[in-house]
């Protein structure tokens, strides 16, 4: 009886659990903008690593913001890992709080390579425009 139960769990339970984990990961990638490289890495070979994404703020040096403030550095890293609206808002809010700007625009660009003709370009993933009066 125990042998039959163990065989049933190994034959149906473990593969079912694996399918559930993959389905949850893929739904988080699709609906929550979770990076494909996180949460088990299902789909990690379908996209360039998020390390090569670029945060761009017109009129500001992102490197100097990151060098001077560890909180902004962590917010930008979280934004690159999960580029959802909440992380964009938090990053823009931190930039506004640490600078004397009236408004800020935060953009996230990812590299794109066209394999048919070998061209390299960047694609805008998402952006946010935040004003001091919106805080």
Whether residue 27 is found in the same domain as residue 64: no
pLDDT of residue 124: 92
Whether residue 127 is found in the same domain as residue 84: yes
Whether residue 93 is found in the same domain as residue 126: yes
pLDDT of residue 38: 64
Long-range contacts of range 68-77, CB-CB < 8 Å, 24 or more positions apart?
69/94, 69/98, 72/98
Whether residue 4 is found in the same domain as residue 56: no
List average pLDDT for each run of 10 residues in the chain, which is 135 residues long.
80 89 80 67 69 90 88 92 89 90 92 87 91 81
Token couple for 69: 């403030």
pLDDT of residue 118: 84
Whether residue 109 is found in the same domain as residue 130: yes
Whether residue 53 is found in the same domain as residue 104: yes
DSSP lists the bridge partners of residue 122 as: 111
Give the number of domains in the chain.
2
Whether residue 23 is found in the same domain as residue 71: no
DSSP 43-72: TGGGS--GGG-EEE-TTS-HHHHHHH-HHH
Structural domain boundaries, residue 52: 48-134
Decide: helix, strand or coil at residue 46: helix
Dist CA 60 CA 82 (whole Å): 22
């Amino acid at each position: 009886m125990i042998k039959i139960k163990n065989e049933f769990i190994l034959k149906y339970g473990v593969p079912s659990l694996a399918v559930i984990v993959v389905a949850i990961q893929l739904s988080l990638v699709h609906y929550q903008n979770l990076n494909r490289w996180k949460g088990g890495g299902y789909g990690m070979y379908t996209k360039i690593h998020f390390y090569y994404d670029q945060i761009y703020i017109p009129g500001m040096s992102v490197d100097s913001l990151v060098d001077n403030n560890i909180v902004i550095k962590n917010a930008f890293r979280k934004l690159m890992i999960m580029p959802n609206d909440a992380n964009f808002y938090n990053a823009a809010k931190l930039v506004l709080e640490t600078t004397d700007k009236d408004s800020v625009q935060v953009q996230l660009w990812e590299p794109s390579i066209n394999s048919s003709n070998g061209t390299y370009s960047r694609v805008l993933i998402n952006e946010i425009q935040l004003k001091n009066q919106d805080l």
